Every structure is written in structure tokens, then in C-alpha cells.
């Protein structure tokens, strides 16, 4: 166990309060990056006391199951235009930054009024491109984590807490 349910909930509430202050009077669209940020988005949106909309984007990066290769592809694009709107990308974990780099480029081409990033987890030690989140839940060490939406080979997303995957479990797949 790395971060328990209560700690996650308190931090998500704090992030929601800050986002509420910052986006008052704006035209907020949350763009959840599937599938990992599903849980975080569901909790965070209920802590933002503003009118907002939610859209989804699914990206995949090639590579081994615990390391992304850098080649990123958009599997599912947004359902609605974001031109002129205030977009907040909601991500589960910022690791190398390669995925978010591509996603940001992809979204910027759609001409939003503003584009910012909230990530629940940040592993700055792993960064390969210069990306800094505008809001971040927790800075974590360089470990592969699962739970609260995060998977390893599509498993463990339903754990209510965030835990470190044991190397034996990672090898078993
Ligand atoms: P990046 O492109 O290396 O920043 O990787 C971002 C994506 O890799 C995230 O959206 C996750 O899907 C996945 N990822 C990175 N680190 C972890 C982890 O510790 N656990 C589960 N998924 C991770
Ligand atoms: Mg993933």
C-alpha cells in the first residue's frame, strides 16, 4: 500500500477546491485520459463546484507493460469540439511524459482557449520530456503502482487504494 483511500479522498477534495477557485466564470471541460483516469475523474468532478462538461480521450503507448516506448496513438478522440473552451486534462500518472506530450499537442491543435493539466500522481524521476502538471495530487517515487484506476495488464484498476506492484506479480503479468 502506498496511498490509502482516505488520503486519496482528502487530496482529491483539495484539488477540487483549487480548481473551483481557478475556473470560476470560465467554460471548463474536463478531458479524462482513458482508462486510468476514470476513477480520479469521477471523484474529482464531484469536488468541482462549477458548471462543467466531461469528455474522453484514449491514447495508447507502445512498449512493455511497465515502460512506455514513446510511440503514442490516439485510439478514441473527443466527442465534442473544445475550440474556445477551457480544457483541463485529467491524467492518472505522469511518468515519462511522452503520452501527455502527444495528447497535449493533439488537443492544442483543436484551439482551446486554455489547456492545463491535473495529474493524480507524478513520478518526476522518470521524466523524458519537459512537462510540469498545473495541479498534482501526489509526487511518488519511481515505482510501478496500481489501483484507483491504474492497471498492470488491465488488472487491479478496481482496487480502492494505490499500491506498489510486486516485481513477481509484474513478471507473472
Ligand atoms: P508516460 O507516457 O510514460 O508518461 O506514461 C503515462 C501512462 O503510462 C499513464 O497514463 C499510465 O497509463 C501508464 N503508467 C505510467 N506509470 C504507471 C504506473 O506506475 N502504473 C500504472 N500505469 C502507469
Ligand atoms: Mg495505462
163 lies in some domain: no
CATH number at residue 113: 3.40.50.2020
83 lies in some domain: yes
Instruction: Determine the average pLDDT of the residues in 22-32.
Output: 98
**Residue 147 CA to chain centroid, in angstroms?**
13
169 lies in some domain: no
172 lies in some domain: no
pLDDT digits (tens, 9 = 90+) for 139-159: 999 999 999 999 999 999 999
The pLDDT of residue 102 is above 80: yes
Instruction: Determine the average pLDDT of the residues in 158-173.
Output: 86
Ligand 1 lined by 145 (C-beta under 6 Å): yes
Task: Share the mean pLDDT of the chain.
Answer: 94
In the reported structure, the alpha carbon of residue 172 is separated from the centroid of ligand 2 by a whole-number distance in angstroms of 17
The pLDDT of residue 173 is above 60: no
47 lies in some domain: yes
Residue 61 sits in which domain range?
Answer: 5-143
What is the chain's alpha carbon radius of gyration, rounded to the nearest angstrom?
Answer: 15
61 lies in some domain: yes
Residue 132 confidence (pLDDT): 94
Ligand 1 lined by 104 (C-beta under 6 Å): no
pLDDT digits (tens, 9 = 90+) for 40-95: 999 999 999 999 999 999 998 766 666 666 678 899 999 999 999 999 999 999 99
Instruction: Determine the average pLDDT of the residues in 27-40.
Output: 97
- Cβ neighbours, 10 Å, residue 9: 13
| 3-state secondary structure at position 158 | coil
129 lies in some domain: yes
What's the total number of domains in the chain? 1
- Cβ neighbours, 10 Å, residue 4: 12
| Closest residue by Cα to residue 25 from 48, 46, 50, 49 | 50
DSSP output for 55-74: EEEEEEE-SSTTS--S-EEE
137 lies in some domain: yes
DSSP output for 117-152: EEEEEE-GGG--S----SEEEEE--S--EEBTTB-B
Which of these is catalytic: 43, 95, 122, 134? 95
Residue 95 falls in the annotated catalytic set? yes
Amino acid at each position: 500500500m502506498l496511498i490509502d483511500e482516505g488520503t486519496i479522498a482528502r487530496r482529491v477534495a483539495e484539488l477540487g477546491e483549487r480548481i473551483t477557485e481557478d475556473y470560476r466564470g470560465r467554460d471548463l471541460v474536463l478531458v479524462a485520459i482513458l482508462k486510468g483516469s476514470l476513477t480520479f475523474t469521477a471523484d474529482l468532478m464531484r469536488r468541482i463546484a462549477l458548471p462543467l462538461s466531461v469528455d474522453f480521450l484514449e491514447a495508447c503507448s507502445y512498449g512493455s507493460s511497465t515502460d512506455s516506448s514513446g510511440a503514442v496513438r490516439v485510439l478514441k478522440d473527443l466527442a465534442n469540439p473544445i475550440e474556445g473552451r477551457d480544457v483541463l486534462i485529467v491524467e492518472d500518472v505522469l511518468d515519462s511524459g511522452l503520452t501527455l506530450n502527444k495528447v497535449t499537442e493533439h488537443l492544442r491543435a483543436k484551439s482551446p482557449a486554455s489547456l492545463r493539466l491535473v495529474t493524480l500522481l507524478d513520478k518526476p524521476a522518470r521524466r523524458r520530456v519537459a512537462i510540469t502538471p498545473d495541479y498534482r495530487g501526489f509526487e511518488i517515487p519511481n515505482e510501478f503502482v496500481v489501483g484507483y484506476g491504474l492497471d498492470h495488464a488491465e488488472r487491479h484498476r478496481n482496487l480502492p487504494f494505490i499500491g506498489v506492484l510486486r516485481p513477481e506479480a509484474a513478471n507473472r503479468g
